[in-house]
Chain A
Amino acid sequence: MAIQCTILPDLLCNFPAIGDTSIRAARKTIDDGFRNLVRANSDLISVVVRPLQLFLNFLEDLFVSTPWIVVLLIMMAIVYAASRNIRITLGTAVSMMLIGAVGLWNDTMVTLAIVTVATLIAILVGLPIGILMARSDRLQSIVNPILDVMQTMPSFVYLIPVVVIFGIGKVPGLIAVVIYAVPPMIRLTNLGIRLVDKEVLEAADAFGSSSRQKLRNVQIPLALPTIMAGINQTIMMSLAMVVVASMVGVGGLGKNVLQAINNQFFTIGFLNGFALVVIAIIFDRTSQAFGRRLQKHSEVIHG
């Protein structure tokens, strides 16, 4: 039996919320202020967005309009060049042809384009931030909580400001994907550089390396396995996010999944889902094989 509210004063019984009117006022001020800010800077925003839009459109057109056999051969060439592994290459060919056979080739190309662009941007943004973070404990203590928020905030929630700022379309979707996918890149770059053997760094110092030489000759190469893991994670997360980003107008496999959810198209949903899984596996195996190949020198041959 619940304790009755008769013995306690009302203040301690019902939580004293600040009240609907105040919330409404606050909401109105913040939302309107935000919208006005965006409206005032719309020119600037479109200048920033424009190159992304062009690049994304270019890549999408290229992927979709190129004959499938050419795309497939290029993909196989890239996979083989990175992994030097016949099985992964053949697996890629077979699974891509299966995707084509169920009629999802074009949608897959659209998704591939956006994941490629998102991953490139995430690396371009994440690598320098990770490097700076590894150099300063203070920056690390500022960036880490931001990354925590980015990773735990439900991804739907930050679609809202993205839509308010950039509107509906491919580029806002792309930006949402990048926000979601960049934290592991930053974190693992930071971690990789911090874990670099202190002795080797000391040796680099003793020979008079500048901090740039240290970064290029020692820190990045030794942190590379961890950085590669970060890139791998980034790809996986952007693949997961393209489905959510379809809510703001990103096409491709994600859009099909969204439609299948809305209409309860069980088969369509799973086919598209599996196509995403296939792409994920191809990316994952290829980048891991590439990472292992980079680390060949660390195989201990002499005890």
Chain B
Amino acid sequence: MASHGIEVKNLYKIFGPRGRDYIDAVKGGLSKQELNEKYGHVLGLQDINVSMPGGGITVVMGLSGSGKSTLIRHINRLIDPTAGEVLYDGVDVCRMNENDLRAFRRHKTAMVFQKFALLPHRTVLDNAVYGLEIQGVDRNESVKRASQWIERVGLRGFERHYPNQLSGGMQQRVGLARALTNDADILLMDEAYSALDPLIRVDMQTVLLELQKELKKTVVFITHDLDEALRLGDTIAILRDGRVVQQGTGQQIVLTPADEYITAFVKEVNRGRVIQAKTVMKPLAGTPEGMPIPHDMILETVAKSLTENGQTQAHVVDAAGQPIGRIDLPIVITAMVTPTSHLQQQAA
């Protein structure tokens, strides 16, 4: 099953009984604050244009109230937009009728929730088969498929437990197993790991990354944690006050933050884990020296292997093994420690 991308185009959401009436005013420049003060309506999302590539993880990051949870709920239309479209495989989700929408939710999407949202009266196994049960899949077949995923997320032996008997991390594994059992192309994760302890969160991120390597689903991941966003996201969109302030790869965001707001965020990030060798390498001068370094190796690992091998010089090779640049320890360390500020970037 080839994964399709999701295109969000010109999406607006105004909360309130007469949201549609103010859409033109908002498009014409009425601010969120004015809309709230004058008309008592809340501007949830404005002019969102995000393209989420098929088979990749798109992270939507923002603080609370930025509209990120609203945005993810537009993809399976748990929230109806005021204007705009959400295209999946050429079809606008926002224009689907009730039956098509239900079929879309059943077969194309699966969702993982911040507070797990498991059925408390059902065992782990019965929670996992929920999506298939709704689709009307035969019980034996769904149990077989659910058991596989329960095992994959590391819950083997807990099939007969109730959610209340499990810790938060284990409950979210059930949530993940329930979503994966659905075997849907789109995986929506709404702050799925935000309620977990830091160590368990990293653990779960690893689980997701490993699964994604083989599954290649179109994952939309919501988080308020930039480290999490950088670790998981193939592409990242940063939301503020219902508006996309920047989107791009993790490296792009760390190296060229679009404004003060993102600069402030990025300052605290461990740059060595984000920036790749090819981003900071210098052009090849003469013959390649030292050890070969893969172009997409992160600087932390580059520094580690240079030090371990007692070298200061290395050359960067592309996927085919051809040398494309050179790198040395000072370059690596400079890139890792200097927080390039937004203003310096502009001056450069």
Contacts and interface: CB of A to CB of B under 8 A. Distances in A.
A302 B105 contact: no
Given A207-B130, A302-B166, A202 B115 contact: no
A205 interface: yes
Contacts of A299: 164
Interface stretch (A15-23, A106-114, A209-217, A231-239): A209-217
B165 interface: yes
B164 A298 contact: yes
A206 B121 CA distance: 19
B111 A206 contact: yes
A142 to B, nearest CB: 22
Contacts of B104: 208
Contacts, number: 73
Nearest to A294: B121
Contacts of B218: none
Contacts of B106: 207-208
B102 to A, nearest CB: 5
B113 A203 contact: yes
B109 interface: yes
Contacts of A202: 78, 113, 117
B81 interface: no
Contacts of A200: 117-120
A295 to B, nearest CB: 8
A48 interface: no
A218 B164 CA distance: 16
Contact of B165 (A206, A222, A302): A302
A206 B134 contact: no
Given A213-B134, A302-B167, A206 B109 contact: yes
B105 A222 contact: no
B72 to A, nearest CB: 10
Contacts of B109: 206
A43 B109 CA distance: 57
Categorize the interface residue count of chain A: 20 to 34
A25 to B, nearest CB: 49
A12 B130 CA distance: 71
Given A208-B134, A301-B165, A203 B111 contact: yes
A148 interface: no
B102 A206 contact: no
A297 B130 contact: no
B12 to A, nearest CB: 22
A221 interface: yes
B117 A199 contact: yes
B195 to A, nearest CB: 12
Contacts of B113: 199, 202-203
A209 B119 CA distance: 14
Interface string A123-144: 0000000000000000000000
A299 B134 CA distance: 27
B88 interface: no
A300 interface: yes
Nearest to A205: B78
A199 B135 CA distance: 20
A301 B164 contact: yes
B180 to A, nearest CB: 13
B200 interface: no
A83 to B, nearest CB: 19
A302 B166 CA distance: 6
A205 B110 CA distance: 11
Interface in B73-118: 76, 78, 102-107, 109-111, 113, 115, 117-118
Contacts of A209: 134
A221 B78 CA distance: 23
A206 B166 contact: no
Given A206-B78, A213-B134, A217-B134, 16 more contacts: A197-B117, A200-B119, A202-B78, A203-B111, A203-B117, A206-B111, A207-B131, A207-B134, A208-B104, A208-B106, A208-B134, A297-B120, A300-B165, A301-B164, A301-B165, A302-B167
10 contacts: A199-B113, A200-B117, A207-B105, A208-B102, A208-B107, A213-B134, A218-B119, A297-B162, A298-B162, A301-B165
